Structure 1
Amino acid sequence: MPQDGPCSYSGTVTAHPGTPARPRPWLLHPLVVDALVASVTLLIVLVLSVTINKHPGGGDGFGQRPLPLHTVVTALLGAGALVLRRRHPGPVLCATIVLTLVELIMGTFSHSPGERHTSMMGMVAVALFTLAASTDRPTTLRVGTCTLALITVAGMLLGAQPWYTSENFGIIAWTALAGLAGDAVRHRRAAVNAIRERAERAEATREEEARRRVAEERLRIARELHDVVAHHIALVNVQAGVASHVMDSRPDQAKEALAQVRLASRQALSELQTTVGLLRHRDDPVAPTEPTKGLAVLGDLVDGFSRAGMAVAVERGDGEEERALPAAVDLAAYRVVQEALTNVHKHAGPDAKARVRISRAGRGDSARLEVMVLDDGHGGAAAPPRAPAAGGGHGLTGMRERAAALGGSCETGPVPGGGFRVRVVLPLRSPGGPAVERSEAADRGWVRPCG
């Protein structure tokens, strides 16, 4: 890959996704930049080659030194090599060093000791800068030291005399400056690339987090929809069956069953509107106004099953109705009771008897809420068989997942003498100490059809 050098264009033109990339001006093409650098370096070398530092007459030294043919040839060859410095920094440096040595050797025949010069050193400096900017620091130190030693010794032996003249010692400054500048450019480019990579990685992380939150929110809403549909549709199905069965023999009871169907469907629509309202934007005219379901409205839930013909008894500890619960625990307990009673109504039949017991146990960090739903399993012969506890239906699996999301436990299974029991324990404090608040973790991974 081409590397950047002095006065070169480093970087790529990027565009926002979905927008066409702007074409790069031809003047910023790397080959054009390298040709311009080579041309400027050639001009500087030729100017220095015909200039005397200290004119004997005290006047301007420009044009006072002769320009032999070998100086022009070596300068042109060196400039041609610099055009390729980005693609082949090592070979270009070697080529400029060789041309500089050739120029010094030929200069011993064309110039007197006092008129010899090391102007080709400018091309060596450009090549060394490119090498330092495109490699690592150890390579720069090794190559720079070798170049410094070789060119300095050659300049002192073949260049301007006496050997200790300032022009020969200037080779050391040129070489060291080129190597240090190239290393600084490489270090800065590496720092910029690291910052860009961190920014891109952070952007990718933000996008991934946003996608994760969207997926979790969809799972949460889908779970709420499942709870609503599973409960009310089960009631509607049973009451519609009752109405169809007694339509001819007991019209009054069929009418009452149809009224219960209408009431259950209205409640289902209301809860669906509240849940789907969470998907509305802020500027939508209609927003959900019903509070989140919880044990505070457990009585309405039980009344719905009672009107469907199922006897439900609720036992709560002293003052349990007035004691506030964390939002996540409150919602989870309500949904567990709702799902359990729906399963009783569906599997044990409308004439089954169920008992709901809600109590607290423990104190401090060990405080927990215990929810138990127990039925007698004698709701009529027409009821379908209950799914075994080992396999469980999707509703039972959902209870376990809901409890596990809050760090609790769920026990389900038949009881001796007939019936089925659901026991869920939910901690009232998180492992870290603060009370459990409603979180997305409690709503994660619960998309189930009704069990």
Structure 2
Amino acid sequence: MRRLWFRDRRPGWPDLALAVLVGAAVGWSGITGMGPAGVDRRPFDLLAGALLLLMSASLLVRRRYPVPAAVVAIGTTFAWFGAGYYGRAVIAVPMIVCVTLTVVLGRWWGVAAGALTTASGIAVIQAVFDSPHAYDYSINAVLILTTSVAVGEAIRYYLAWRKEMLDRVARAERDRDAEAARLVNEERLRIAYEVHDVVAHTIASISVQAGVAAHVLDRRPEKAREALEAIKKTSTEALRELRGVVGALRSDGAEEHSPSLGRLPELTGMVEAAGVRARLSVTGEVSALPAAVELAAYRIVQEALTNVVRHAKASEVTIELSYRPDFLRITVEDDGTAAESPSGNGNGLAGMRERARTLGGRFDAGRVTTGFRVACELPR
């Protein structure tokens, strides 16, 4: 962001250009005799050149040293008039200084400089000019210096407004970057949960089926074949779901072929293939759910059943879906006897809780008298 010109008080090319321009205008009016009537005509000489250089120098450094520059500018201006040089353009020097004082130091500095300049100017005018012209020049001096303070105040308000706008833009950019980072983190977390659910469930099923195949390979080859077929089916399904997750990343849209609660019999079949009886119960009026709720419900049931197979040492698990007008209640309860929680402290339990929280639902998991229970309510 570029710094505002009046905030960086080091003299720059605008100050140099202004000093040269005003100095040239005052010098030209003095040399060519363009001046107010009633002044004793005095030609441009070395004293006029010295005063002109002081005026230009005060304009050059007026932002860095506003008060000394104002003193020099006002003093040299009145010295110019008092010496009797020509030059209507010289009044521009105290005007510019008053504007700068108001902008840099504040309104009251500009008012003080304007009042001092006006009072001193009137005194000089009364002493230098003829009576018929003194009154008119005094009125002009008051109007000119008042206008200078007003212009300085307007510029000061504009710079303050511009600074506020730039600060707001900067804050908006920071907020936008923070929001983008938050969305990226949430999406990364969502993908991590998706991959975890798919891989954990698949590995658990393959591990169980491989153990069964190894155990019955010699005595019951047909049972081993069934286990191997189940492994093939499970791995194929896992690859399809992973392709769906990756496809969603590539297309920047929703998952392709998102799992749904209609596929719960497949999950219960895999659990039963691992030697755990599964009972699925559905109550209430079954109706369509939002895609996000459908996916979250499926993943929660999938992760809960994966934990049953991997950790619970259970012989039976019950899955209950209760469709209510405002929410879907999910309960997965097993009769496991494992000493530890089926989910442990890993990502499984945290992932289920996070899915429910993201949708504004409730999640609870813990050991009960008969085993371990996962209960969740997702708003519809």
State the TM-score bracket (shorter-chain normalisation).
0.7 to 0.9
Contact 1:359 1:369 (8 Å CA) reproduced: yes
Deviation at 1:391, TM superposition (A): 6.4
Matched, 1:299 2:252: no
Find the aligned partners of 1:144 and 1:126 in 2 and give their Cα distance.
11
Find the aligned partners of 1:390 and 1:36 in 2 and give their Cα distance.
76
Matched, 1:35 2:16: yes
Name which of 71, 77, 86 aligns with 1:100. Answer: 77
Contact 2:213 2:227 (8 Å CA) reproduced: yes
Match of 2:297 in 1: 333
Matched, 1:78 2:55: yes
Match of 1:439 in 2: none
Contact 2:334 2:373 (8 Å CA) reproduced: yes
Contact 1:104 1:118 (8 Å CA) reproduced: no
Matched, 1:166 2:132: no
Name which of 409, 418, 427 aligns with 2:379. Answer: 427
Matching residue's letter, 1:232: T
User: Which digits, 9 at most, give the CA deviation of each residue in 1:299-336, with x for residues without a partner?
Assistant: 2222222333322111111543xx12233332222222
Contact 2:34 2:87 (8 Å CA) reproduced: no
Find the aligned partners of 1:412 and 1:119 in 2 and give their Cα distance.
87
Over 3 Å counting, the alpha-carbon distance change for 1:318 and 1:194 in structure 2 is: closer
- Tell me the TM-score normalized by structure 2: 0.85
Contact 1:129 1:182 (8 Å CA) reproduced: yes
Q: Secondary structure at the match of 2:328?
A: strand
How do residues 129-168 of structure 1 correspond to structure 2 at under 5 angstroms? Answer: 129-156=99-126, 158-162=127-131, 164-168=134-138
Q: Secondary structure at the match of 2:71?
A: helix
Matching residue's letter, 1:309: G
- Structure 1's unaligned 5+ residue stretches are 12-28, 56-60, 379-384, 429-451
Match of 1:205 in 2: 175
User: Which digits, 9 at most, give the CA deviation of each residue in 1:44-77, with x for residues without a partner?
Assistant: 334444335459xxxxx9x965345533332232
Over 3 Å counting, the alpha-carbon distance change for 1:118 and 1:423 in structure 2 is: closer
Q: Secondary structure at the match of 2:134?
A: coil
Name which of 356, 365, 368 aligns with 1:403. Answer: 356
Matching residue's letter, 2:187: E
Q: How many residue pairs align between the two structures?
A: 374
Contact 2:74 2:94 (8 Å CA) reproduced: yes
Contact 1:52 1:65 (8 Å CA) reproduced: no
Matched, 1:324 2:288: yes
Contact 2:341 2:372 (8 Å CA) reproduced: no
Q: Secondary structure at the match of 2:318?
A: strand
User: Which digits, 9 at most, give the CA deviation of each residue in 1:391-439, with x for residues without a partner?
Assistant: 65542233233223333333323333x42222222333xxxxxxxxxxx
Higher helix share: 2
- Structure 2's unaligned 5+ residue stretches are none
- Tell me the TM-score normalized by structure 1: 0.73
Q: Secondary structure at the match of 1:423?
A: strand
Deviation at 1:173, TM superposition (A): 2.6
How do residues 208-247 of structure 1 correspond to structure 2 at under 5 angstroms? Answer: 208-247=178-217
Q: Secondary structure at the match of 1:317?
A: strand
Matched, 1:359 2:318: no
Matching residue's letter, 2:155: V
Contact 1:234 1:346 (8 Å CA) reproduced: yes
Find the aligned partners of 2:196 and 2:54 in 1 and give their Cα distance.
80
Over 3 Å counting, the alpha-carbon distance change for 1:324 and 1:122 in structure 2 is: closer
Deviation at 1:138, TM superposition (A): 3.0
Find the aligned partners of 1:33 and 1:328 in 2 and give their Cα distance.
60
Find the aligned partners of 1:221 and 1:116 in 2 and give their Cα distance.
82
Name which of 232, 236, 259 aligns with 2:229. Answer: 259
Matching residue's letter, 2:266: D
Match of 1:345 in 2: 309
Q: Secondary structure at the match of 2:376?
A: strand
Find the aligned partners of 1:267 and 1:297 in 2 and give their Cα distance.
12
Over 3 Å counting, the alpha-carbon distance change for 1:32 and 1:360 in structure 2 is: closer
